[in-house]
A and B are shown apart, each in its own frame.
Chain A
Amino acid sequence: MTFARNQWYVAAYGREIGRELFARTVLGEPLVFYRSEEGEVVALADRCVHRRYPLSESRLEGDTIVCGYHGFTYDKAGACVFVPGQARIPRTARVASYPVVEQDSFVWVWIGDRDRADRSRIPRAPWLADPGYTTVSGMEPLAARYELLVDNLMDLSHETYLHGGYIGTPEVANTPITTEVDEDNGVIYVSRHMADAACPPFYAKSTGIEGRITRWQDIEYHPPCLYLLHSRVAPVGVLPEPDGTDPHGFHVEVVYAITPETEHSTHDFWAVARDFALDDEGVSEFLRESNRTVVLQDVTALDLLERVIAAEPLGYQELSINIDTGGLAARRILKRMVAEASEVAPV
């Protein structure tokens, strides 16, 4: 299995892209990003067409990049507008430009055939740019293939073992799970709904709920890149309204963007948004530190797993059990996306 091209991927947070040239590799393609003088994000192939020098190690002049090796100069669309020592600009002197959309605090980039890029197909994480929520976020580099992070996030039973003491309670592990797959829309949803659970001290303190709670923990994965964990707590018996609004629930939206860097490394973007205790810096600090700790525990485990897998002979037979129902669905849809992308690839 390799990458699913012809898909949108998160390349960066919007805050990472400014008037400095910024390098990031996505699906094995080295890209250079910058913000134009008007503020739009530009993404180009990070290799000068002349002698492959990284444009990210070059200079931004207005809205053009001047190659730091011989001065080839490219505009926002990747067209070469100046070559050194001659007036004629060769017809093939251009670098690829990539469709980019800035949305929900992320910079999304389309990796694939330009004319198939449809921005309406980018999955949403609206909480990250909603003033009704407070968000903490970060990104950790993972020296492991992205499929391992998908497996990890689709099966939260690892919380009890890998993240003991941070997240996961016996009630979470003992709750009925429903796995749903929307075949047409490519969405996988894993629900854990606890009707009557103990309120973890963090939620009791930060929401003011007294007594036991109704607690939901729902995974919504939009392959290949966007993973959402909807965590909802409310006093026992308080459910969302029939119209879908939920004025009496407290919500933590955990968002991951899983972006392959190479076949053996991944950008692990994570964000935690909440709609309560908005101005409480102590709550922000707790969520930032606990989530980052959990992400780093995953990084250590998955980096180790990558080394194990990379060194083993092909054909290892894994064992899947009931808790893998959602993970198996995710793998199948990813496999389908990879296959679809290779079918339409130019020959």
Chain B
Amino acid sequence: MSHRVAMLRGDTVYRVHWEPGTDLLVGVCHCGAEHDSEDPVALWDWLLSHPEGHDRG
């Protein structure tokens, strides 16, 4: 989505987008896989487990 902010330009950047007013976090791995969560601890666990569970379907 175009409105998502991306400031870092490295090859291995993990991103978590959060819209205050909702409770949802969207994690985006450097491989392109995405995952939603309401728990930042669980979401970091998912991101850092790359490539496990990061099939882009």
A321 at the interface (CB under 8 A from B): yes
Q: Which of B3-20 contact A (CB under 8 A)?
A: 4-8, 10-20
Asked whether any CB of chain B lies closer than 8 Å to the CB of A103, the reply is: no
Q: CA–CA, A329 to B8, complex, Å?
A: 15
Q: Once the chains bind, are A185 and B10 in contact (CB under 8 Å)?
A: yes
> Is there a chain A Cβ closer than 8 Å to B33's Cβ?
no
Within 8 A of B (CB), among A103-140: none
Q: CB-nearest residue of chain B relative to A195? A: B3
**Complex contact A178–B44 (CB within 8 A):** no
A174 in the interface (beta carbon within 8 A):
yes
Given A322-B25, A325-B16; A180-B6 close (CB under 8 Å): yes
Chain A residues with CB under 8 Å of B5's CB are: 176, 178, 191, 193
Q: Report the nearest A residue to B25, measured CB to CB.
A: A322
B18 engages A183 (CB within 8 Å): no
| B40 contacts chain A at the CB level, 8 A cutoff | yes
Q: Counting CB contacts under 8 A, is A328 at the interface?
A: yes
Interface presence of A205 (CB below 8 A): no
Q: Which of B4, B7, B13, B38 contacts A183 (CB 8 A)?
A: B13
A324's contact among B11, B15, B30, B40, by CB below 8 Å, is which?
Answer: B40
Q: Are B4 and A328 in contact (CB under 8 A)?
A: no
Q: Which residues of B contact A328 (CB under 8 A)?
A: 40-41, 44
Q: Complex formed: what's the CA distance from A118 to B9 in Å?
A: 23
Cα–Cα distance between A288 and B28 once the two chains are bound (Å)? 39
Is A173 part of the contact surface with B, judged by Cβ < 8 Å?
yes
Q: A182-B10, A185-B10 are in contact. List 17 more A-B contacts (CB 8 A).
A: A174-B20, A175-B20, A176-B17, A176-B19, A177-B17, A178-B15, A180-B8, A181-B13, A182-B12, A184-B10, A189-B7, A218-B7, A322-B40, A325-B16, A325-B43, A328-B41, A332-B44
Give the B-binding residues of A (Cβ under 8 A). Answer: 173-185, 187, 189, 191, 193, 218, 320-322, 324-325, 328-329, 332
Pick 17 A–B contacts, CB within 8 A, sort by A.
A173-B20, A178-B16, A180-B7, A180-B13, A180-B14, A182-B12, A183-B12, A184-B11, A184-B12, A187-B8, A189-B7, A191-B5, A321-B40, A322-B38, A324-B40, A328-B41, A332-B48
